[in-house]
Amino acid sequence: MRAPETHYARSGDVRIAYQVFGNGPFDLVFVPGFISNIDHYWDHPGMAHTFSRLASFCRLITFDKRGTGLSDRVGGLPTLEQRMDDLRAVMDAVGSERAALLGISEGGAMSMLFAATHPDRVRSLVLYGCYAHFHSWVLPPERFGPFLDAIDRDWGTGESLRAFAPSAVADEWMRNWWARYERVSASPSAALALMRMNAEIDVRHVLPAIHVPTLVIHRTGDTRVSVEGGRYLAEHIAGARYRELPGEDHLLWVGDTDRAITEIEEFLTGAHSDADPERVLATVLFTDIVGSTQRAAELGDRRWRLLLAEHNGIARREIARFRGREVHSLGDGFLATFDGPARAVRCACAIAETVRTSLGIKVRGGVHTGEIELDREESDVRGIAVHIAARIAALAGAGEVLVSGTVRDLVAGSGIRFRGCGSRTLKGVPGKVRLYAPE
């Protein structure tokens, strides 16, 4: 199979390289791992064979994530939130309303988050060699530093092949191909930055919110991602099918590739989505003005109404700027939802800072990511995640924004810094909730 033409989709100010080929009855998006280069893939017979097999039963869409391969290099670390935007941009560019996702290794985290957040756009989910928490199933903290040192020293030489495909280390052609793959996929500095971002991945909280048909495939002796990581995913994603295959190579296209693809084909061609588009993963934001009753009494009805109108205008502008959805006004605050936690946190901080400096009033906010139920008839949202966000907001001090530990874990790589605020028991919520405040 010949390499298809490379195109570019625009995701904000960033261009994402993609290819599309095959003419099957449904779309499958190949979400790559740590690094990729969609042109260089085709120089490897195993990779070309993998794509040919996949494209024999679907329309296959491949892309390079921002900062890697042929896509734009960007300043700063890409977040899972931005990568979801990129995936959506590629799907829009090729006219794919709904697709199956094949998440490879590190690409699985974004795929899982996308499937939970946008179930209406995900037909089904396949996870190969994936994990929910980096330090639990890829590298423990004590081994992470030495691995970074090895990347810094050897990137571009192919030395890292032994970590991804130990059975191919003695193959000189493969080692040379892999060395060039490293060089054309990311610079040494970019590779280090991406590894640091990967080390912060923790999507364990997301797994219960995935309701699309899911297949988890893992090789028993995978030297890169422990098989326990795959088993954990299958145990915590409702209804997930698990296939454990023999082998030690992490790369899908090395080893017994056909067996894995046969499992994928049988699952995808026979899978029927029972996803409920009314239940989605979302980030919920509550805000309210601190001491609003006292302030209203001090100002009088007319002046208070004017001040409240200015506050509402600021809040609505910030919610729109950060691509949130206003659910409804609460009289002296707002309930809004976002499809990305970093945007919600930045929105909350922007509202608090702007009303403080412009109007001299203090707003507090609470942010939590979890599964919500959409009531489209009443344009409302319900669910435990909504209650948690409201209770977190109630704990915030004047001018303060508090977020749950779930939010803090999901904004890895965003550049947002947090200080710990301890753990609290919230009424009606089992266990304790870790709280953080953005600095």
Specify the pLDDT at position 274. Answer: 53
Specify the pLDDT at position 277. Answer: 60
Note the helical H segments in 300-433: 301-321, 341-359, 384-395, 405-410
d(C-alpha 400, C-alpha 365), whole Å:
7
Query: How many residues are there in the chain?
Result: 439
Q: For 317-335, what is the mean pLDDT? A: 92
Domain boundaries, the chain: 7-270, 279-438
d(C-alpha 106, C-alpha 198), whole Å:
7
Instruction: Give CB contacts under 8 A, 24+ apart, made by 356-361.
Output: 356/399, 358/310, 358/314, 359/307, 359/310, 359/311, 359/314, 361/289, 361/290, 361/295, 361/307, 361/311
Q: For 37-46, what is the mean pLDDT? A: 94
Residue 293 or residue 220, greater confidence: 220
CB neighbours of 121 closer than 8 A, spacing ≥ 6?
A: 88, 91, 97, 98, 99, 114
Answer yes or no: are the C-beta atoms of 338 and 365 closer than 8 Å: no
d(C-alpha 100, C-alpha 27), whole Å:
6
Condensed to tens digits (0 to 9), the pLDDT of residues 365-411 reads: 999 999 998 877 667 898 889 999 999 999 999 999 999 999 998 98
Q: Any idea which architecture 279-438 has in CATH?
A: 2-Layer Sandwich (3.30)
Residue closest to 19 by CA, chosen among 34, 36, 33, 228: 36
Condensed to tens digits (0 to 9), the pLDDT of residues 118-145 reads: 999 999 999 999 999 999 999 999 999 9
Specify the pLDDT at position 299. Answer: 84
Q: Which residue has the tokens 């942010």?
A: 367
Specify the pLDDT at position 275. Answer: 56
User: What predicted TM-score, i.e. pTM, was given to this entire model?
Assistant: 0.87
Top CATH class, 7-270: alpha beta
